Amino acid sequence: MKLDKDFWSMQILIAEVLAIAGFLICAIWFLVVPVFYYQNAEINLKAFTEVANLEPIGCINGDSDRDWNLSCTARNKDRLFAVSCGYMPWSKGCKINFGQLNQSPPVQFSLFKE
């Protein structure tokens, strides 16, 4: 049985449609989902700051490193804290990213012995 040219052109068309659909699904997942679930990160931040006796400032609405956490900020009287809060429905809680905000002053050093 010999397959004709129309059969292969239909197969190529189906493959192209599936490739474009896959690309669109990935783009929507990585670009829209963090914005859609932004409120979950805010809720997690508020719950975390109540327990940690901090004041919530807010979260960004994009997952730049794709770790299922949004970068948020909290503060007490004199310090800011970088906090990562989960934004997906199954992600609960936050964690403080030590060493990102209000770092200690840089170490003073010299290239020459004194």
**pLDDT of 40:** 87
Strands of 55-59's sheet, edge to edge?
A: 55-59, 69-75, 80-86, 94-96
Q: What percent of the chain has pLDDT over 90?
A: 19
Nearest to 95 by CA among 48, 42, 34: 48
Cα separation, 70 vs 46, in Å, equals 14
- Tell me the domain boundaries of the chain: 37-96
**pLDDT of 99:** 62
Cα separation, 96 vs 42, in Å, equals 15
Do residues 37 and 89 lie in contact, with contact meaning Cβ atoms separated by under 8 Å? yes
Cα separation, 103 vs 80, in Å, equals 10
Could you give the dihedral angle defined by the CA atoms of residues 46, 50, 56 and 62, in that order, rounded to the nearest 10 degrees?
-40
**pLDDT of 3:** 60
Q: What pTM value is reported for the model?
A: 0.58
Q: Over the stretch 31-77, which tens digit does the pLDDT of each residue have? A: 776 666 778 889 999 999 999 889 999 988 777 777 888 889 998 88
Where would I find the beta strands (DSSP E) of 11-100?
55-59, 69-75, 80-86, 94-96
